[in-house]
Amino acid sequence: MADQARRKPIEDVSEISAITYGFMASKALFAALEFDLFTHIAQGADSSGALAKVSGIAENRLVTLLAALKSLGLISEADGRLANAPATARYLVAGAPGDFRDYVRFVNGEFGYESFRHLGPALRGERIFPDKGFYEGMIYEAGIGGERFSSAQHSGSLGPARLLAKRLDLKDRRKLLDVGGGSGAYSIALCAANPRLSATILDFPQTVDTAKRYVREAGLTDRIAHVAGNAISADWPSGHDVVLMSYVWSAVGEADIAVLAKRAADALPRGGLALIHDFMVDDAREGPRFAAWYLLGSMFDNPTAVCLTPGYVERVLRDAGLTVEGTETMLSGITMLTRARKPGLASSSIPA
Ligand SMILES: C[S@@+](CC[C@H](N)C(=O)[O-])C[C@H]1O[C@@H](n2cnc3c(N)ncnc32)[C@H](O)[C@@H]1O
């Protein structure tokens, strides 16, 4: 994270250009994914002529896009042969181990890109759906919809979820409440890694069918349940000794964050564990840059959105009566994880 946490003040006009032209680079990547160019290259369409044929883009236009992709280091060309860069091959090709094309294309490329039109109005405090939150209004009603958003989010969350499962020792825990659990990526990864753990996903109704599908595919229907509702107002199911909120605090305003922290504290038994995973900038609010940029999006239709920092998250958890264990980087340069515990000895039925 250190390399991205704090940027040296810029000195040259070219650095301003890099920022202003940056959106064109993002668009080149989104377009390449729309035509699945990296997958075609991996499958052998490794000349501009062959790629033109399989993608349906005329070669004269395709070479302009390929030039942009080469300039970004996403692909290279030698002796007329195109090749995916190592990271492209690992993350942006169908069936690759880290394939998160749908997250890049739909969550960032469609919904994210479009929603940033609202940045100016959001800074003025204007709202598009005054009676709805960010997810209900901006994503499920006007945006890409519950099924498309949740499945695209799934491809972005699977990797981090597996990472979290490696980091956390939950072998003595029994029941996870995954608040705002969306597609269930975290519940699935954590249950897969901890055979005695079961989970409940609490999220808006628009996400439930998608989550059920992924849970079925993972063979975990007997261990993962679903509750449809708004986590601020609906009753939380009882009997859970771990509460996870991943990318939820960055979607709701300050008052709702306090409610969620208090509800987590009330729901947990003594010794119970609260986990907050989200985009956070450092306490000086100087970076990391991807977290800082992402948090701009938390303001859309959410005038009380908070610029999340470890200090802020930890204070809210303490105010709710939890004992904070600390905050660590999860996805380098992007997200952090804060752990807190309900004070007191764990009851014998739910080991600490
Ligand atoms: C970015 S997605 C993250 C999903 C999942 N936690 C993950 O990390 O993959 C945020 C999720 O929070 C849910 N969410 C946001 N506000 C909520 C609320 N008030 N009640 C229930 N779910 C909420 C959204 O519907 C969405 O599924």
DSSP-H helix ranges across 113-207: 113-115, 119-123, 146-167, 185-193
Separation CA 339–CA 194 (nearest Å): 18
Does 93 sit in the ligand 1 pocket, CB within 6 Å? no
pLDDT digits (tens, 9 = 90+) for 169-200: 999 999 999 999 999 999 999 999 999 999 99
- Residue 240 CA neighbour count, 13 Å, CB half: 26
Residue 113 CA, ligand 1 centroid: distance in Å: 19
Q: Whose alpha carbon is nearest atom 12 of ligand 1?
A: 180
Give me the pLDDT at residue 348, please: 43
Identify the residue whose tokens are 């860069």: 85
Enumerate the β-bridge partners of residue 201: 178, 226
Separation CA 200–CA 181 (nearest Å): 9
Does 112 sit in the ligand 1 pocket, CB within 6 Å? no
Residue 206 CA, ligand 1 centroid: distance in Å: 11
Give me the pLDDT at residue 82, please: 98
Q: What is the DSSP string of 64-76?
A: HHHHHHHHTTSEE
Q: Take residue 11 and report the two structure tokens written for it.
A: 């000195």
pTM > 0.85: yes or no: yes
Does 181 sit in the ligand 1 pocket, CB within 6 Å? yes
Q: What angle do CA 86, 334, 343 make, to 5 degrees?
A: 135
Separation CA 179–CA 231 (nearest Å): 7
Helix axes 22-34, 13-20, angle to 10 degrees: 30
Does 250 sit in the ligand 1 pocket, CB within 6 Å? no
Please give the DSSP secondary-structure letter assigned to residue 20: H
pLDDT digits (tens, 9 = 90+) for 292-318: 999 999 999 899 999 999 999 999 999
- Give the CATH fold of the 158-341 domain: Rossmann fold (3.40.50)
* Atom of ligand 1 at shortest range from CA of 277: 8
Regions in the chain scoring below 50 on pLDDT: 1-3, 348-352
Residue 332 CA, ligand 1 centroid: distance in Å: 21
Separation CA 31–CA 89 (nearest Å): 17
Q: Which are the contacts of 34, defined by CB distance < 8 A and separation ≥ 6?
A: 105, 109
Give me the pLDDT at residue 5, please: 58
Which of 235, 248, 294, 300 to mutate to test ligand 1, by most ligand atoms within 8 A of the CB atom? 248
Please count the residues of the chain. Answer: 352
Q: Which are the contacts of 115, defined by CB distance < 8 A and separation ≥ 6?
A: 138, 143, 297, 300
Q: Take residue 346 and report the two structure tokens written for it.
A: 């764990």
Is CATH 1.50.10.20 the classification given to domain 2-97? no
Residue 89 CA, ligand 1 centroid: distance in Å: 30
Q: Whose alpha carbon is nearest atom 24 of ligand 1?
A: 180
Where are the chain's structural domains?
2-97, 158-341
